[in-house]
A and B are shown apart, each in its own frame.
Chain A
């Protein structure tokens, strides 16, 4: 047998099957999410210019540095290349008010990466969405900074003009967010029971701006459209499945519509059902396009690490997030509820997974 002489022994690799893998990798998933964020990042840069850019740069840089430091200190392989820190930083940065000082944004990101992710063991081990952890941290530490809102630069000039003409002293141009506007009548109604009749809700007139951009709010919250574009990209790439976005948006719009309907229809003097202008509750579309709902439905709630593994688990998770958001927005103390809704439902994830464990084809194997 002269075979061995003819060809030097080739070392063959041995491993367990399967020997094929799909082309998708964790890294690719993370970068797809980042690409999905790009329309909203573009919008943030367009509406808030340098302020948004500084916040995003601060967030990304501090996220990478924090993760790298953790890797070094814990003597683990470097994981900053996997892209997950950038995703967290971008989501957090876009959820912050554009007026926040850069150092505060950086501190929030450090908290998000360290307390939110790395202390649990890094990527895949955290219980809570790191970006929302960071935001909650900032909310607790720097409450005022986190609730001061400015309109986009395009609007600022006009407002300045108006106020100067009126002879007002201008320190800074602040403006309530659409959701705060939507909240006001609810608060009023609860406090003094006096409803200003025949004043159509201010916020309903802002719908177009809320969809296309141009209202005050977090850096990435000014436009629902750009998140929708990014979300559709993720769905198209199958980076996320439809379950969570549909459940979040569906339940949110359901719970926004019910009180609005009760507000709109009333029993008139003749005893018939009559249709009028809603006095307290804003148009459901305000809640759909307002605040961080779109971002939440496609980018935050769909964070694979902190949402359930099973299909039904994901649907229940989405319904929970959507209804909690509306509960906080309509009945809670804050005009916006995305952050707390996400964190609460993250805590429910293990339980949801246990409840919705799929039954294997052929039934559970009998335990011996």
Chain B
């Protein structure tokens, strides 16, 4: 195994970090050394496969009620360009197709599948098949496999990966940046994946580089995961076009913009995509999903989920079928403790709080965090004392308190002038606020206001346009 030096080399760079940001306590020790185990779906229980698990167009169900489905069978698909099909994670029977609770809070048309008695043998995911040869694949077959397997960004944003990696000579990609930072406190799913199955990730990176025609791939890992750094370093030793970047541990290091700035020193223009600076960013879990999609045509029906927090009796990392209900998963972890206050889909900084446990795990759910009363914030909002901590810590250099004040006063114009739309919703401002002002909540409300205003403006503009033509 290669010994990691502290020097920068062609292979390993210790680029530093982005400006500002925060250092929340990590709490990763709850699960970071717990190996991944498979969450068991009992025969007779149900899985809920929502038709919307990604950014883009919703899928239409392709199965009927009472139809038998097999593992990996498509149950929903869409003709739209920005979309990803959804698959059945189990052998079973479709119980119903109806709107079901969804982590977003709305109800979304879902296929409810009763888990059958006979399930296929468990699929290998740690090791690559011996016959893997990256040169066998060209970009068209890779993109096709990714699309068919329904791969979406598994870091949480769930943008269809096939779209992201599209080969486009007009907008070439120089580097594929692979995000293994996992800056979100508590979560360790990417960390465990990197230590337990580095070869899969590296193969996925190779395929992603081929797919979009990039020159190189860079795997970025925060320096609080030395074991993952070591494993990935060993795995990329013989591969020419993949490098390792070690980043400082700081939140939100895993945010696309911050990561590109830290590793490549490039700044993505506000409102733009990483492609504008010739970069594509994918998550390590997405890279692993790409590998299985291309090598075996295996769709995304499983993902690694960290179940953690002091509200969980036995925290751990699990390989979970997409569509498994939260209640079933939490039950396998011993259930919730009595002091539990919030259950989050995702980590504590960006995760969505859910009021009930009958929502399914989605492709983009990287963790379940159950926070106890003393871990989370229950304090009431008090007056802003203008301490400027939100300004000093906003990784984008915004002035969150003034934007929030503008939104409170319903003056959207001022909020937009102060670059409300540049906000990446990382929550650093609300984390540091000593007055406990839910700044991010105000900013989100402002973004919603801006969206509504834009929608209302459109027809008015076209009306005015048609009038002037008359």
Find out whether the CB atom of B355 lies under 8 angstroms from the CB atom of A12. Answer: yes
Given contacts A12-B343, A17-B351, A17-B352, contact A29 B383 (CB under 8 A): no
Report the Cα distance A361→B205, complex, angstroms.
28
Q: Which residues of B contact A314 (CB under 8 A)?
A: 388
User: A-facing mask of B371-389, CB < 8 A → 1, else 0?
Assistant: 1000111110011111111
* B: contact size bracket: 35 or more
Q: Given A3-B331, A28-B434, A304-B387, is A19 in contact with B371 using a C-beta cutoff of 8 Å?
A: yes
Beta-carbon contact of A366 and B271 below 8 Å: yes
> Known interface pairs A12-B342, A17-B427, A366-B271. Does A124 touch B386 (Cβ–Cβ under 8 Å)?
yes
Q: How many A-B residue pairs have CB under 8 A?
A: 183
Given A17-B351, A20-B349, A125-B383, does the pair A363, B434 have CB atoms closer than 8 Å? no
Question: What is the distance, in angstroms, from B400's C-beta to the closest C-beta of chain A?
Answer: 10
A167 at the B interface (CB under 8 A): no
| B436 in the interface (beta carbon within 8 A) | yes
Is B261 positioned at the interface, with any CB of A under 8 Å from its CB? yes
**Stretch of B121-129, B173-181, B412-420 at the chain-chain interface:** B412-420
Q: How far is the CA of A178 from the CA of B48 in the complex (A)?
A: 80
For B401, the chain A residues whose CB sits under 8 A away are 309
Evaluate contact between A305 and B434: CB separation under 8 angstroms.
Answer: no
Q: Which of B83-91, B109-117, B285-293, B390-398 lies at the binding interface?
A: B390-398
Contact status A19-B342, CB under 8 Å: yes
Query: Are A362 and B340 touching (Cβ within 8 A)?
Result: no
Instruction: Check B435 for interface membership: any CB of A closer than 8 A.
Output: yes
Q: Tell me the nearest residue of chain B to A364, going by C-beta.
A: B419
Chain B residues positioned under 8 Å from A26 (CB to CB): 382-383, 385, 387, 434-435
B354 contacts chain A at the CB level, 8 A cutoff: yes
Residue of B nearest to A122 (CB): B383
- What 0/1 readout, one digit per residue, does chain A (323-363) give for beta carbons within 8 Å of chain B? 00000000000000000000000000000010001111111
Cβ-based interface call for B223 (8 A) = no
Is A367's beta carbon under 8 Å from chain B? yes
Inter-chain contact A17/B349, CB cutoff 8 Å: yes
Cα separation A160 to B428 with both chains bound (whole Å): 61
The one of B335, B392, B421, B431 in contact with A18, judged by C-beta atoms closer than 8 angstroms, is: B431
Check A357–B379 contact: CB distance below 8 A: no
Tell whether A7 is near chain B: CB-to-CB under 8 Å.
Answer: yes
Could you tell me the distance between the alpha carbons of A363 and B369 in the complex, rounded to whole angstroms?
Answer: 35
Question: Does any Cβ of A come within 8 Å of B327's Cβ?
Answer: yes
Query: Is A193 an interface residue when CB atoms closer than 8 A count as contact?
Result: no
B263 beta carbon closer than 8 Å to chain A: no
B314 at the interface (CB under 8 A from A): no
Interface residue B350 (Cβ < 8 Å from any Cβ of A): yes
CB pair B340 A17 closer than 8 Å:
no
B271: contacting residue among A7, A18, A359, A365, CB under 8 A? A365
Q: Which of A79, A82, A362 contacts B272 (CB 8 A)?
A: A362
Tell whether, in the assembled complex, residue B436 and residue A309 are in contact, meaning their CB atoms are under 8 Å apart. no
Which residues of chain B come closer than 8 Å to A310, judged between CB atoms?
388, 391, 399
With a CB–CB cut-off of 8 A, which chain A residues contact B343? 12
B108 at the interface (CB under 8 A from A): no
Contact call A15/B438, Cβ cutoff below 8 A: yes
CA distance A79 to B385 in the complex (A): 13
* Residue A14 CB within 8 A of the other chain: yes
Shortest distance from the beta carbon of A315 to any chain B beta carbon, whole Å = 12
Find out whether the CB atom of B395 lies under 8 angstroms from the CB atom of A361: yes
B391's partner among A17, A358, A368 (CB-CB below 8 A) is A358
Give the contacts of B48-78 with A (CB-CB under 8 A).
none
- Chain B neighbourhood of A360, CB < 8 A: 270, 396-398, 419, 422
**Of all chain A residues, which has the CB nearest B46?**
A1
**In whole angstroms, how far apart are the Cα atoms of A330 and B365 in the complex?**
66
| Nearest-neighbor residue (CB-CB) of B382 within chain A | A26
Chain B at the A interface: SS class: loop
Most buried by B among A12, A15, A241: A12
A309 to B388, Cβ gap below 8 A?
yes
Please name all residues of chain A whose beta carbon is closer than 8 Å to the beta carbon of B342 when the two chains form the complex.
12-15, 19
- Contact assessment for B422 and A365 in the assembled complex, using a CB-CB cutoff below 8 Å: yes
Residues A299-313 near B (CB distance < 8 A) = 304-305, 307-311
Q: Out of B377, B383, B416, name the residue touching A19 (CB < 8 Å).
A: B377
Contact with A along B430-463 (1 / 0, CB 8 A): 1111111010110010000000001000000000
A17 x B350 contact (CB < 8 A): yes
Interface centre among B331, B383, B436, B438 (most CB of A within 10 A): B383
A191 in the interface (beta carbon within 8 A): no
Interface membership of A270, Cβ < 8 A: no
Convert A7-25 into 0s and 1s, putting 1 for each residue whose CB lies closer than 8 angstroms to a CB of B: 1001011111111111011
Whether B375 and A25, one on each chain, are in contact in the complex, defined by CB atoms closer than 8 angstroms, is: no
At the interface, yes or no: B160 with Cβ under 8 Å from chain A? no
* Distance, CA A223 to CA B336, complexed state (A): 58
The answer to whether B385 and A305 touch across the interface, beta carbons within 8 angstroms, is yes
A189: Cβ under 8 A from any B Cβ: no
The reply to whether A19 and B344 contact each other, CB–CB distance below 8 Å, is yes
| B163 interface hit (Cβ, 8 Å) | no
Whether B434 contacts A20 by the Cβ 8 Å rule is: no
Q: Is B257 in the interface zone, CB < 8 Å from A?
A: yes
Residue B35 interfacial (CB < 8 Å) = no
- When the two chains form their complex, are residues A361 and B257 in contact, meaning their CB atoms are under 8 A apart? yes
Q: Are B335 and A305 in contact (CB under 8 A)?
A: no
Supposing A22-B431, A365-B422 touch, asked if A15 and B353 sit within 8 A by C-beta, the answer is yes
Contacts of B438 in A (CB 8 A): 15-16
Q: Which of B341, B376, B422, B432 contacts A22 (CB 8 A)?
A: B432
Q: Which residue of B lies closest to A15 (CB)?
A: B353
Residue among A7, A16, A28, A358 with the highest chain B CB neighbour number at 10 A: A16
Q: CB of B265 within 8 A of chain A?
A: no
Complex contacts, A12 vs chain B, CB 8 Å = 340-343, 353-356
Residues in B neighbouring A125, C-beta threshold 8 A: 383
Contact with B along A35-66 (1 / 0, CB 8 A): 00000000000000000000000000000000
Minimal beta-carbon separation of A166 from chain B (angstroms): 54
Q: Which residue of B lies closest to A361 (CB)?
A: B396
> Shortest beta-carbon distance, B248 to chain A, in Å?
17
Asked if residues A18 and B353 are in contact (CB atoms below 8 Å), the reply is: no
A123 contacts partner chain B, Cβ-Cβ < 8 Å: yes
Complex Cα–Cα for A12 and B337 (A): 12
Neighbouring B residues of A305 by C-beta, 8 Å: 385-386
**Would you call B385 and A19 a contact (CB within 8 A)?**
no
Known: A13-B378, A367-B416. A362 touches B388 (CB 8 A): no
Contacts of A22 in B (CB 8 A): 22, 24, 431-432, 434
Q: Enumerate 18 A-B pairs (CB-CB under 8 Å) in ascending A order.
A: A12-B341, A12-B353, A13-B353, A14-B342, A14-B354, A17-B349, A18-B348, A20-B376, A21-B377, A26-B434, A304-B385, A309-B399, A357-B418, A360-B419, A362-B270, A364-B270, A365-B416, A367-B417
The 10 closest A-B pairs by CB, nearest first: A18-B427, A16-B441, A362-B270, A21-B377, A124-B383, A309-B388, A14-B353, A304-B387, A19-B348, A358-B397
In the complex, given contacts A20-B431, A361-B267, what are 18 additional A-B residue pairs having Cβ atoms less than 8 angstroms apart?
A14-B354, A18-B430, A18-B440, A25-B379, A25-B435, A26-B382, A26-B434, A241-B388, A305-B386, A357-B399, A358-B399, A360-B396, A360-B398, A361-B422, A362-B257, A362-B272, A365-B271, A367-B417
